[in-house]
């Protein structure tokens, strides 16, 4: 991976950069543990979980991804536009990454529809408060805070996704989940490994070359993780339980 061009500000020492990256990794590990302890995670990954509940939980997570996805993409382009104008090298790297993310909301919607979701409803409904809060957070970070906050909100996105989708692949194979509804999950289990490495590299480079970037990145991380993934998962899981209860009621099965 090519090294980014230098900047006129004094560069942080390698030790300072390494410590910050390790600090962010520790926060990421803590976030993963919180996810693993959450009700949606425990219920979905419970070996005795009903296959229908697993399917519905994923269905509604995909709907949330479709809902907030455009906001993340647009916010990131805003952040890119606010980067130092003497750093087109930095802009090019981030633009390429964001372009690779542009259609992922549509990918999630396609799988949502395959799982029985209504496309017209998904495109015209008002998004959930959880997705609204997530979209508002990334937009505010990109528009009102340092553009380097982008790295703080995008890194946990890209770093956790391959871990969680990789686990889902194993689970869904056991549950008989429709293969044609796994495009989003299978794609991200592979692609986001390289994206995670890219963003980790960018974090190290930016902290090295820009004074104050570490604080900006961590602020972006903390703001983002207050609205995703747990609030998003909880909203999706609530909708999954409601649909399951409605289906059980209609069929006369016990809830």
Mean pLDDT calculated for residue range 211-222:
97
pLDDT tens, position by position, 87-135 = 999 999 999 999 999 999 999 999 999 999 999 999 999 999 999 999 9
Burial 169-189 (b: 16+ CB within 10 A, else e): eebbeebebeeebbebbbebb
SS3 254: coil
Q: Which residues of 59-79 are buried (b: 16+ CB within 10 A; e: fewer)?
A: bbbbbbbbbbbebbbbbbbbb
For each of the domains in the chain, give its residue range(s) and CATH number, in order of start.
14-241 (1.20.910.10)
Contact 248, 255 (CB under 8 A): yes
Average pLDDT over residues 206-221: 97
**Would you give the DSSP letter of residue 115?**
T
Contact in structure between 210 and 9 (CB atoms under 8 Å): yes
Q: Tell me if 76 sits within 8 A of 83, measured CB to CB.
A: no
CA–CA separation, 157 and 192 (whole Å) = 9
Rounded Cα gap, residues 202 and 102, in angstroms = 20
pLDDT of residue 31: 97
Confidence of residue 201 (pLDDT cuts 50, 70, 90): very high
Q: Any idea which residue has 């906050």 for tokens?
A: 149
Instruction: Give yes or no for residue 71 having a pLDDT over 70.
Output: yes
Instruction: Compute and round to an integer the Cα radius of gyration of the chain.
Output: 19
Distance CA 57, CA 63 (A): 10
């Amino acid at each position: 991976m090519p090294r980014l061009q230098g900047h006129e500000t004094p560069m942080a020492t390698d030790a300072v950069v390494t410590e910050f990256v390790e600090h962010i990794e520790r926060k990421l590990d803590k976030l993963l543990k919180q996810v693993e302890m959450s009700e949606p995670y425990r219920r979905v990954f419970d070996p005795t979980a009903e296959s229908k509940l697993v399917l519905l939980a994923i269905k509604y997570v995909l709907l949330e991804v479709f809902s907030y996805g455009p906001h993340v993409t647009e916010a990131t382009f805003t952040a890119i536009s606010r980067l130092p104008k003497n750093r087109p090298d930095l802009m090019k790297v981030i633009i390429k990454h964001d372009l690779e993310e542009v259609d992922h909301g549509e990918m999630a919607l396609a799988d949502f529809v395959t799982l029985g979701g209504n496309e017209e409803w998904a495109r015209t409904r008002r998004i959930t408060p959880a997705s609204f809060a997530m979209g508002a957070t990334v937009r505010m970070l990109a528009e009102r805070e340092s553009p380097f906050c982008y790295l703080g909100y995008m890194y946990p996105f890209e770093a956790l996704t391959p871990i969680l989708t990789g686990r889902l692949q194993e689970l869904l194979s056991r549950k008989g989940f429709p293969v044609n509804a796994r495009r989003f999950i299978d794609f991200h289990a592979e692609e986001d490994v390289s994206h995670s490495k890219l963003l980790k590299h960018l974090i190290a480079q930016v902290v090295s070359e820009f004074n104050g970037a570490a604080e900006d990145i961590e602020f972006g991380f903390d703001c983002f993780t207050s609205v995703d993934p747990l609030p998003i998962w909880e909203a999706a899981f609530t909708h999954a339980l409601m649909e399951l209860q409605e289906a059980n009621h209609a069929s006369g099965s016990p809830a």
